[in-house]
Amino acid sequence: MTTPPDQQNPSLGRYQSAADIPSMAEMISQLEGLRLLNTVFRGDQNIEIARIEQGLDEMIGTVDGFYDLLGDKNWILHENLNFEKVKQILRDNSNADHAEMQLIDLYDEDAMGFMLHRANWFEASRNRASLIEKAKQDYFDKRYYSCVLVLLAVIDGFVNEFESKHKGFHARESAEFSAWDTIISHHKGIERVHGRIYLKSVSKTKTEPVYDLFRHGIMHGTIVDFDNVIVATKAWNLLFSVLDWATAKEQAAKSKEPEMSLEELIRREAHREEGSKVMASYVPYILKPEDRDFSGHEAVVACRQFLDYWLKSNYGGMSGSLPNLFASYGKTAPKRVRDEYDAYKLGSYELTELESTAPVLVTIRAKLVVNGFSESVELKWIYEARDGLATVPQQGDGQWHFQFWTVSNFIKELKKVR
């Protein structure tokens, strides 16, 4: 994996690559740490690490590829777009015009119903639910002019209500919508669209068709031919991007930590040194179900909890076992787990062995009955600190997480339930 380039003026959030976006950069850092750990302890995780690296490279390549192809046409890649379908569009097209029309096709009625779930998270959007529904009806009835006007009002009103300073989307500085931990903060994303298109002043009447969301001209009557599917879809594209901005801003406010004191820095260094000593003197071991320490081992307890949730199709409960690498999923984590596991029904399970090759790594072997078939599997678990501080189980302050949690990582060639 290529080391991410330095951020270009990160105070403005103009991330030159998806690799610069904070959560992506953190995942790259964690992956490099995992690779180092695997090397130090001569682990057997190379295939799994390579798989994660490939997935991360693919994610970064998709984001950058989207903006390379469609960023200059003022489209924003928001979190609710179907990434697999976006990747297919990028694979199939080098022509931006063709790609644009295929992107518009992603905003069909089924997808729109799913994407609008995000609007239920905020009071400011719930207050505009009836307007959003009217805009949706107008869109699919091809009353694009009406859809555009309604969504412009929704976007400005949402942003105005979302924060106490009460300034609409049109009344803000473009930089206010960047520097957030989300793919919309790419340098060709929401900040660029806001500054170059949304706020662009159009004082002279323009009668020819336009294909961008020029709010000023549309709302002030100087742009008179905006009744087309491209402008209407860009209005939806911007609304979903604004919802991403609001989500990222809320998450940033919750996770913001005060600057560490000297005492805290010293405590953390002592913690690190203690952990290093534990790792240096570590002796690998194997536990069987009949061994006294097997059932009470925290990794076994965590594994049983995950599998019990799977038995009940409790995707929210299962999502609590995801590694810190995937913390950026946030509230979407249960859906991500559901998308991965819904086609695989766990009928029963039996844990047969735990092997620990390093203080923070264990492999739990099990027999699963999935979709009616018996499978012998290896489930990899990693110990991670709750506060992000490197730690080992002997120090506590952490949790066991399912390291390679996607089904394809531990079950091969199993038919899905239709």
Question: Of the given ranges (53-57, 123-127, 180-184), which has the lowest mean pLDDT?
Answer: 53-57
| Residues 101 and 227: beta-carbon distance below 8 Å | no
Band (215; pLDDT cuts 50, 70, 90): very high
Question: What is the pTM for the complete model shown?
Answer: 0.57
Residue 95 has pLDDT above 90, yes or no: yes
What mean pLDDT is predicted for residues 198-214? 92
Band (16; pLDDT cuts 50, 70, 90): confident
Residue 41 has pLDDT above 60, yes or no: no
Between these two residues, 56 and 156, which has the higher pLDDT value? 156
Q: What is the pLDDT of residue 123?
A: 83
Domain 275-409 has CATH 3.10.450: yes
Q: What is the pLDDT of residue 2?
A: 40
One-letter-per-residue 3-state SS of the chain: CCCCCCCCCHHHCCECCHHHCHHHHHHHHHHHHHHHHHHHCCCCCHHHHHHHHHHHHHHHHHHHHHHHHHHHHCCCCCCCCCHHHHHHHHHHCCCHHHHHHHHHHCCCHHHHHHHHHHHHHCHHHHCCHHHHHHHHHHHHCCCHHHHHHHHHHHHHHHHHHHCCCCCCHHHCCHHHHCCCCCHHHECCCHHHHHHHHHCCCCCCCECCCCCCCCHHHHHCCCECCCCCHHHHHHHHHHHHHHHHHHHHHHHHHHHCCCCCCHHHHHHHHHHHHHHHHHHHCCCCEEECCCCCCCCCCHHHHHHHHHHHHHHCCCHHHHHCCCCHHHHHHHHHHHHHHHHHHCCCCEEEEEEEEEEEEECCEEEEEEEEEECCEEEEEEEEEEEEECCCCCCCHHHCCEEEEECCCCHHHCCCCCCCCC
Question: Of the given ranges (33-37, 65-69, 386-390), which has the lowest mean pLDDT?
Answer: 386-390
pLDDT in tens, 228-252: 999 999 999 999 999 988 888 887 7
Band (1; pLDDT cuts 50, 70, 90): very low
| Residues 9 and 178: beta-carbon distance below 8 Å | no
What mean pLDDT is predicted for residues 375-398? 73
Band (15; pLDDT cuts 50, 70, 90): confident
Q: What is the pLDDT of residue 292?
A: 92
Between these two residues, 273 and 286, which has the higher pLDDT value? 286
Residue 388 has pLDDT above 70, yes or no: no
Order across the sheet with 285-287: list the strands. 285-287, 346-358, 361-370, 373-385, 398-402
Q: What is the pLDDT of residue 279?
A: 54
Residue 229 CA to its chain's centroid (Å): 28
Q: What is the pLDDT of residue 295?
A: 94
Bridge partners (DSSP) of residue 356 are 285, 362
Q: What are the residue ranges of CATH 3.10.450 in the chain?
A: 275-409
Between these two residues, 334 and 17, which has the higher pLDDT value? 334
Q: What is the pLDDT of residue 166?
A: 83
pLDDT in tens, 250-265: 877 775 555 444 344 4
Q: What is the pLDDT of residue 387?
A: 53
pLDDT in tens, 402-414: 987 888 778 866 6
Judged by phi (left if over 0) then psi (alpha if -120 to 50, else beta), residue 9 lies in left
| Residues 192 and 209: beta-carbon distance below 8 Å | no
| Encoded amino acid at 130, one letter | S
Among 85-94, 148-157, 187-196, the range with the most confident prediction by mean pLDDT is 148-157
Q: What is the pLDDT of residue 21?
A: 75
Band (335; pLDDT cuts 50, 70, 90): very high
What mean pLDDT is predicted for residues 76-90? 88
Band (38; pLDDT cuts 50, 70, 90): low
Q: What is the pLDDT of residue 127?
A: 86
Report strand pairing: 373-385 vs 346-358. Answer: unpaired
If you average pLDDT over every residue of the chain, what do you get?
Answer: 81
Q: What is the pLDDT of residue 413?
A: 60
